[in-house]
Chains A and B, each alone.
Chain A
Amino acid sequence: MERRYILVCLLGVIAGLTISAIAQEHANPASSPSAAAAAPTQSTAANSAATHTSALAKPVPDAAEERALRMEGEKRFRTNCGRCHQAPHKFPPRVMAAAIRHMRVRAMITDEDMRLILRYMTQ
């Protein structure tokens, strides 16, 4: 097979996946995959939509939301970071922000996971 066909196929797949994911979120933000996946357990299911919304829109959360965000952030932290290495302790906020940006590129964690982990690790 010619190399350019392979490359075109790869680029096509990437573009298709990107467009489909963006279209999903834009078309139905209330039931977006991100919001649905923000529910870690049934006990925190009621807070999941608020968790996602507050994580992305940055309103000031109340105590319950804050607790839910932390739980969700810790869960994402253990799930994502633990894939490759032992969980590190918390670093100062600006250090953690740099590290999480690096890991977003290196480990390809999602944007939502990055926000929640950063929030958990800096509070």
Chain B
Amino acid sequence: MIYNVTIDETEHRVELDRAAEGWRCQLDGHAVPLDAVLAQPDVLSILIEGRAYEIRREQAGADLTIWVGDHAHAAEVRDPRSLRERRQRADHDKGARQLVAPMPGKVIRFLLEENSRVEAGQGVVVVEAMKMQNEIKSPKAGVVLKLSVAEGAAVNAGDVLAIVE
């Protein structure tokens, strides 16, 4: 099995084969002597030449995080044979970006109007949750295309608040 894996924005190619004596593994063309045991559904123990790693998987919606000890790595795994995934990838970075609510809460106010210019990192909308007001910032520079909810509206995590292009 071959996987294209992105870890913290760096691409890796991982080849895995189950052999009689365990896993055969190649990382970016180099053989890695690998001993792996699934300790719990989301916990792996990996031994590489005696070095022990405790690894946990955290899946939050579409976001996959691989924890190696206390280091968190943003991960994405693709099977290059899958056409669907290849197509999705091609569309990934183009065009409009959505600002989504990171947690359930209430929209307090918008800081910008539709069609106004916005810098990357500039606050667009204020959401209140757990008695704290938080600014949701634009992921890119551009123009605020649309404010998708009304001030005062209750929103859930993942709801689209605004669109920036």
A binds B: no
Chain A residues near B (Cβ < 8 Å): none
- Identify the B interface with A (CB < 8 A): none
